[in-house]
Structure formats: C-alpha cells, structure tokens
C-alpha cells in the first residue's frame, strides 16, 4: 500500500519547537519532491515548504521562512520539517505530500498524501 504517514505533532508553547516526520511506505520517497501543507480551521490550505528529490533545493512560505527547515533522509525514506520559534498562527493540521519531478505550490498536483498531524501552539 502506497502511503505517507506524518508524526511529531502536538501541543507546544509559543517560541517552542517541534519536528514533524513524513514516512513513506510502498514507494521510494527519493523519487519524489515532498511538500508540507497546513490547514487551519476555517482557512484555505497553505503550502509551507517543499524539497526536491535530491534535497538540493528547498522553498518556504514567507510566513515560515527563517523558522522552519525541511530536510530529507532518503535512506530512511523520510522527510522532516523542523519548526522553531513557533507562533499561535502556526496552529494547523500539517500534511505531507509527494509529487513527481519538481516542487509545486499547486496542492492538486501532488499524488500521495498523509493523513495529517495536528500542531497546536498555545500558552
């Protein structure tokens, strides 16, 4: 079965950190660009970050640039999102998704999706 599974979400205080993991099964994550998206209640999904197949190129939404870092370990078939200096506005369900070839902001062009992990930033 081809799937992505996110983990690492939780409740954290403002200024804290979390590391999300996106583990692939049934396919080789190294053959895909991996994007992280998030959706807060009542809001449209937002692209957060993306990393190319090789890991040689990454991009970030302006709202997280300088605070979040995406990385991948193809040997472990896993992609990570390190989130530092978290803010209440980062509260959302975070999803990872896989896409052939290069990164894209277009959510609909991603082939495989995880079930999401909740991140809540609150004091």
Q: Higher-confidence residue: 119 or 26?
A: 119
Say yes or no to pLDDT of 101 above 90: no
Residue 69: its H or E element: strand 68-73
Measured distance CA(49)–CA(38) in Å, rounded: 10
Tell me the HSE value of 56 on the side-chain side, using a 13 A CA sphere.
4
pLDDT at residue 42 in the model: 92
39-42, Cβ contacts within 8 angstroms, sequence gap of 24 or more: 39/92, 39/93, 39/95, 40/89, 40/91, 40/92, 40/93
Nearest CA to 22 among 98, 86, 110?
98
Say yes or no to pLDDT of 23 above 90: yes
pLDDT at residue 99 in the model: 95
Q: What rounded mean pLDDT belongs to the chain?
A: 95
pLDDT in tens, 39-84: 999 999 999 999 999 888 999 999 999 999 999 998 999 999 999 9
pLDDT at residue 110 in the model: 95
Q: What is the DSSP letter of 52?
A: -
Model confidence at 1, in pLDDT bands (50, 70, 90)?
confident
Measured distance CA(40)–CA(66) in Å, rounded: 21
Model confidence at 2, in pLDDT bands (50, 70, 90)?
confident
Measured distance CA(5)–CA(25) in Å, rounded: 8
């Amino acid at each position: 079965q081809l799937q992505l599974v996110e983990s690492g979400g939780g409740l954290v205080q403002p200024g804290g950190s979390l590391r999300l993991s996106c583990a692939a099964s049934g396919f080789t994550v190294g053959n895909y660009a991996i994007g992280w998206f998030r959706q807060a209640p009542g809001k449209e999904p937002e692209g957060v970050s993306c990393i190319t197949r090789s890991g040689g190129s990454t991009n970030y939404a302006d709202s997280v640039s300088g605070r979040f870092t995406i990385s991948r370990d193809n040997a472990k078939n896993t992609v990570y999102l390190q989130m530092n200096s978290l803010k209440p506005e980062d509260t959302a369900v975070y999803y990872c998704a896989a896409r052939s070839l290069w990164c894209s902001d277009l959510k609909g062009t991603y082939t495989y999706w995880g079930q999401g992990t909740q991140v809540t930033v609150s004091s």
